[in-house]
Structure 1
Amino acid sequence: MARTKGFDPDAAVDAAMELFWANGYAGTTPQQLVDAMGIGRGSLYNAFESKHALFERALRRYHEANTARLFDILDGPGTARARLRAALDMVIAAARTDERRRGCLMTNTAVEFADRDEPVSGFVRATFDRQEAAFRAVVEEGQRSGEIPADRDAAALATFFLTTTNGIQVLARVDPDPTRLAALAETAMRAL
Structure 2
Amino acid sequence: MGRPKQFDPDVAVERAMDVFWRKGYAATSPQDLVDAIGIGKGSLYNAFGSKHALFERALRRYRDDQGAVLVELLERPGPVRERLREVLELLVAMDLADSDRRGCMAVNAAAEVAADDPAAAELVRRMLDRTEGAFRALIERGQRAGEIAADRDAAALGSLLVNTVVGLRLMVRVAEGPERLERVIDAVVDSV
TM-score bucket (shorter structure)? over 0.9
Instruction: Label 1:170 to 1:48 Cα distance change in 2 as closer, same or farther (>3 A).
Output: same
Count of residues in correspondence between the two structures = 190
Instruction: Label 1:61 to 1:176 Cα distance change in 2 as closer, same or farther (>3 A).
Output: farther
CA-CA distance at 1:5 after TM superposition: 6.0
Aligned to 2:67: 67
Cα deviations by residue, 1:124-158 (Å, 9 ceiling, x for unpaired):
10110111011011111111211011222211111
Provide the secondary structure at the position in 1 that maps to 2:173.
helix
Aligned to 1:84: 84
1:21 correspondence with 2:21? yes
Quote the Cα distance in structure 2 between the aligned partners of 1:176 and 1:126. Answer: 31
Instruction: Label 1:164 to 1:176 Cα distance change in 2 as closer, same or farther (>3 A).
Output: farther
Quote the Cα distance in structure 2 between the aligned partners of 1:32 and 1:177. Answer: 31
- What stretches of structure 2 of length at least 5 have no aligned partner? none
- What stretches of structure 1 of length at least 5 have no aligned partner? none
- The 8 Å contact of residues 96 and 176 in structure 1, kept in 2 or not, is answered as no
Overall identity of the aligned pairs, in %: 51
CA-CA distance at 1:64 after TM superposition: 2.2
Quote the Cα distance in structure 2 between the aligned partners of 1:22 and 1:170. Answer: 13
Aligned to 1:159: 159
Quote the Cα distance in structure 2 between the aligned partners of 1:73 and 1:29. Answer: 35
Quote the Cα distance in structure 1 between the aligned partners of 2:38 and 2:70. Answer: 31
CA-CA distance at 1:176 after TM superposition: 4.4
Q: How does 1:36-185 map to 2 (within 5 A)?
A: 36-185=36-185
Quote the Cα distance in structure 1 between the aligned partners of 2:177 and 2:26. Answer: 28
Quote the Cα distance in structure 2 between the aligned partners of 1:28 and 1:55. Answer: 10
CA-CA distance at 1:21 after TM superposition: 0.3
Question: Which deviates further from its counterpart, 159-168 or 148-157?
Answer: 148-157
- The 8 Å contact of residues 95 and 176 in structure 1, kept in 2 or not, is answered as no
Quote the Cα distance in structure 2 between the aligned partners of 1:132 and 1:54. Answer: 26
Letter in 2 for 1:28: T
CA-CA distance at 1:75 after TM superposition: 1.3
Provide the secondary structure at the position in 2 that maps to 1:173.
coil
Quote the Cα distance in structure 2 between the aligned partners of 1:124 and 1:34. Answer: 25
Quote the Cα distance in structure 2 between the aligned partners of 1:4 and 1:59. Answer: 27
- The 8 Å contact of residues 135 and 161 in structure 2, kept in 1 or not, is answered as yes
Cα deviations by residue, 1:24-80 (Å, 9 ceiling, x for unpaired):
101100011101111000000001111011001111111222222110111122122
Letter in 2 for 1:113: V
